[in-house]
Structure formats: C-alpha cells, structure tokens
Amino acid sequence: MSAAEIAPDWRRWQQTSLIAAVVGATLFVLVALTPLAGPYRLTQAAVSYSVAFHVWLAIPLGCMVLLMIQYLTGGTWGVLLRPVLETSSRTIILFAFLAIPLAASFFLGANSPYPWARPLEQVARGEILEELRGKTRLLNPAFVAGRLVVYFAIWIVVSLLLNGFSGRWKGGSELAGRRLVNMSGPGLIAYAITVSLASMDWIMSLEPFWRSTIYPALYAIGQIMSGFAFATAAMVLLCSYPPLAGRVLPKHRRDLGGLLLAFVMLWAYFAFSQFLLIWVGNLPDESLYYFKRLRGGWQWIGLALLLMHFVLPFFVLIFRGAKENPKVLLGVAALVLGMRFVDVFWWIEPAFPHVGLPLFWLLDVAAFVAIGGVWSWWFLGRLKHVSLVPIYGANLCEAGGHHE
C-alpha cells in the first residue's frame, strides 16, 4: 500500500467538520427560539455562545503560548508538536470574527448577560447601585469592546510574527531563528497581560462584585492545557500516517504524557488555591461565587471536575506505561479537552438562574459543536498543506536519537 493510500483523509475530515458546524448552528437557533432557552432567550443564547467561544479560543491561544515556551526552553516535545502548534496559532484570526457575537452581547441593553451593560437601575439599588456605577468607568460596552479589539490585535500580531520568523528559519535564516527566541519572552509577557484583562472583562465581570486575583492565572493555565491536550491528541492521531509513522517513539509519548500531567496538576493547584482562599476569607461577595456553584445540582458538576479533570488523569498519567501507550495517551488528552468544556460551563452558567430549565445546556452543546466545527474545518484546511516532518532537531525524533 502506497503512502498516498494511507495518508490522512483531509477532505473527509473537513466535510465532517462542516456538517457538524451546520448541525450545531441549526440546533442552536432552534433551541434559542423555544421555551427550552427560558424566558430570557437572547440572554441565554449569548451566555451559551460565550461558553463555547471560550472553550475553543483556548486552543489556538494555548498553542501560541506553548510555541513561545518551546522556543525559549527547547525540547523534543516542541519539535514534534510544532507543526500543529503553529497551524493552530494561525487560526486566532478566525476567532477575531467569531468574537463579534461576544462583543455584540455588550450592547444588548436589558438582555445583556453583563449586569454593567444593562440599565443599572434594573440591576441594583442603594449603595450597591452606586458601587456598580463606579465600576462602569472601566466596565462599559464601548470601552470593553475596544479592549477586545486590542487583545485580538496583539494576539494576531504575535501569531503572525511567530509564524513569519518560523517560515524564514526553516528556509535557513539563522537570524530569524534568533528572532523567534528574542520575541518569545516579550510575547509571553504580552499574552499574560492581555489574557488577564480579557478574563476579567469577559467572564469575571458577569458577576461584577466577585473578585479573585487567581482567576486570570486559572483562565490562562486552562488555555495552555487545552492547547497542549489538543496538540498531543493530534500528534497521536497523525503519527499513524506518513511522514510521522515510525518517528514518534514511546519516549516521545512519555514526554508528552509527563507534560500533560504537569499541566493537569498546575490547573488543580490554581483551582484549589482559589477555592481555599475564598473559603478562608469568608467574605460574602466572594463566597457567593462558590455558593452558587455548590448547590442546586451544580455541586455534581464540581465533583465531576474533581474526579475527571484531576483525579483520573493524575492516576493514569503517573504510570510510565500509560504515558507510552498511544491509545491511553489519546484517551486522556481527549478527556482533558472534554472537561475543559465542563469547567468553562461551570464557570459561566451558574451566574444565571436556571430554575425549571433542565435542558438549557442544549444551547451550550449546540454552540460548542457549531464553533468547533467551523474551527476544525479552518484548522484542517491549513494543516493539510503543512509538512509534519520535524525540522531543525529532527534527529531527536528518530530511532536512536539522543533524547531519553
């Protein structure tokens, strides 16, 4: 059988992605127009879209961060994943367009999911109203939308620079290779600042009186973990086809599994630290955040996150044989990606009442499928034109390489 006959069926994968996008979008519209979405259908639609948007945006942004980390630190794991990481980072521009509905939700008035964007007299009274008015100096639709544009502009520029220098580096330019390293440090700083502000603008401000200094770090590590889990899953799937067939060895999968374990543990550390600090502080404005998420059925989702997002991946990936087994590694990476959706869902949806609406989550699932289908189609359309052969350090990916 020739290599062409066993090559990835890019066309079929793209067609499947488009079908998923159409089905998801159709289901989203249909559910949004029915009583399943509740009495505030436009608000619920905006919230559900936000959940899906944050889940999928995490992958290209996380991949971009991993690229910069790899350029600064080196490592075989980055050589293997670089084609997927670079291709994924180039899709950030797609999310600049997918962010339009998110930005539009700032201007929905009484139907906006953001309390500071609604008529304030309908949201609060007395001292709380005055405090909320004070927050609108920074939290107002025009200013938040303007910051959104700035965030994406910075992310797109960083992505373009990374991919541009990488292309010239692969063409033999040593100067471009040095520039990749030199820009990765400032690029990581720019990411840290912008993603911290974005997490506060887009998610924390859904509950404007809740404060957490750890949440931006938790949001960022969630993105990095999403990017790494996705790149790992893609690599395991693609290593069955030329030109990667035979190049990805058990020791390489062991490295990927070890790093995935590290990201899972780091996420758990930040999540527990936030919970512990709020519990110890015992302040009403902060405690209310977990009060909403640990009652009314939401506590079972929290328990699922503990067991499926930390305990299970941890106790699987601590074993060397599990990390080296491609099916197990793929399964854990897929589980982590699935739980990222659950985690973001648990962040956002409890901020709103859903009493008597047992199927409101169908909107979240539909939006997840729709955005994921569009993004997968876009990503696959670019990956199929990329060489997956490791470049500059390819000897580390061959049998007999020096990396152990």
Buried b / exposed e over 321-351, threshold 16 CB at 10 Å, is: ebbbbeebbbbbbebbbebbbbbbbbbbbbb
At a CB cut-off of 8 Å and minimum separation 6, what does 322 contact? 257, 316, 328, 329, 332
10 Å Cβ neighbour count for 299? 12
Q: What is the pLDDT of residue 392?
A: 55
Q: How far apart are CA 163 and CA 167, in angstroms?
A: 6
- Cα distances (angstroms) measured from residue 176 to each of 165, 169, 172, 179: 5, 5, 9, 5
Query: How is residue 40 annotated by DSSP?
Result: -
Q: Give the position of tokens 């249909």.
A: 30
- Cα atoms in the 13 Å half-sphere on the side-chain side of 147: 17
Q: How far apart are CA 323 and CA 325, in angstroms?
A: 6
Query: How is residue 207 annotated by DSSP?
Result: S
CA-wise closest residue to 396 among 64, 168, 130, 78 = 78
Residue 366: exposure state from Cβ atoms within 10 A (0-12, 13-18, ≥19): buried
> Angle of helix 10-32 relative to helix 41-73, nearest 10 degrees?
150
Q: Of all helices (H) and strands (E), which one includes residue 10? A: helix 10-32
Residue 50: exposure state from Cβ atoms within 10 A (0-12, 13-18, ≥19): buried
- Cα distances (angstroms) measured from residue 112 to each of 38, 105, 240: 15, 6, 47
Residue 350: cis peptide before it, omega within 30 degrees of 0: no
Q: How far apart are CA 14 and CA 357, in angstroms?
A: 35
Q: State the amino acid at position 287 in one-letter form.
A: S
Query: Under a CB-based contact definition with an 8 Å cutoff, are residues 335 and 265 in contact?
Result: no
At a CB cut-off of 8 Å and minimum separation 6, what does 269 contact? none
Give the long-range contacts of residues 282-290, CB within 8 A, separation 24 or more. Answer: 285/209, 285/210, 285/211, 286/210, 286/211, 286/212, 288/207, 288/210, 289/207, 289/210, 289/212
What is the pLDDT tens value at each position of the chain, 404 positions in all?
Answer: 444 447 788 899 999 999 999 999 999 999 999 998 888 899 999 999 999 999 999 999 999 999 999 988 877 778 889 999 999 999 999 999 999 999 999 999 999 999 998 888 777 777 777 777 888 889 999 999 999 999 999 999 999 999 999 888 888 788 888 888 899 999 999 999 999 999 999 999 999 888 889 999 999 999 999 999 999 999 999 988 888 887 888 888 999 999 999 999 999 999 999 999 888 888 777 888 999 999 989 999 999 999 999 999 999 999 999 999 999 999 999 999 999 999 999 999 999 988 888 899 999 999 999 999 999 999 999 999 988 876 654 333 333 334 33
Q: State the amino acid at position 141 in one-letter form.
A: P
Q: How far apart are CA 34 and CA 290, in angstroms?
A: 30
Q: State the amino acid at position 186 in one-letter form.
A: P
- First CA to last CA across the chain, in angstroms? 32
Q: How far apart are CA 91 and CA 49, in angstroms?
A: 18
CA-wise closest residue to 348 among 119, 139, 105, 110 = 105
Tokens of 231: 């790149």
Give the sign of the dihedral formed by CA 234, CA 372, CA 197, CA 204. Answer: negative
